[in-house]
Amino acid sequence: MNDSQFQQLLWNLKDNMLNFAFKLTANKEDAQDLTQETFLKALTHKDKFVDNKNFKGWVFTVMRNTFINDYHRLLRGQTLIDNEADLYKIDNVQDESNFSPETDLNLRELTHIITEMKEEYRLCFTLYVTGYKYQEIADKLQIPIGTVKSNIHTARGYLKSRLGGTK
């Protein structure tokens, strides 16, 4: 596939990408940023796409991985987990360049909502967002993988309902 065909395929997915990005970020501006970053990464790494494969799936995987990596980078940059006191208590690291009262409020609200979850949901969800795979969580907690998936799904639904998101 030549460069112009690749760019045309990518451009044709723009609306789908924006919708998917909005589902991931729940914020219009962040969704636009994520879509733009995905465009850039897809164009930069187009040599990694294999012809006759699912182009849309490949692009959405690039977007999802970008979102996850950015999310983990944000968590590492703004939060610390205090293992001594309470595993789920998150303290803000106040970096003057990235800190704002709105960010502080959002992190406190999110932390509060997560700590209110039932322990089995909170534990699975926390491990999942810190990068553990379903099977790793199941092994670590010694529970079936189906239970892990169910607990994470329930935790996400709880967060959406508490944060005012829609399905």
Q: What is the pLDDT of residues 130-153, one digit of tens each?
A: 788 899 889 888 999 999 999 999
pLDDT tens for each residue of 9-43 = 889 999 999 998 888 888 888 889 989 999 998 88
DSSP string covering 109-126: HHHHHHHHS-HHHHHHHH
In this predicted structure, what is the pLDDT of residue 77?
59
Looking at residue 11, what is its pLDDT? 92
Type and span of the H or E element at 75: helix 55-78
pTM to 2 decimal places: 0.46
Max mean pLDDT range (109-118, 135-144, 157-166): 135-144
Token pair recorded at residue 127: 């491990």
Mean pLDDT of 56-81: 75
Answer for the pair 28, 45: CB distance below 8 angstroms, yes or no: no
pLDDT at 70: 78
What is the predicted pLDDT for the residue at 92?
44
Question: CA quadruple 79, 80, 81, 84: dihedral positive or negative?
Answer: negative
What are the tokens at 98?
């990235």
> Percent of the chain scored above 90 by pLDDT?
16
For 7-31, letters b (16+ CB in 10 Å) and e give: eebbeebeeebbebbbebbeeeeeb
Alpha carbons 163 and 111: distance in angstroms, whole number: 12
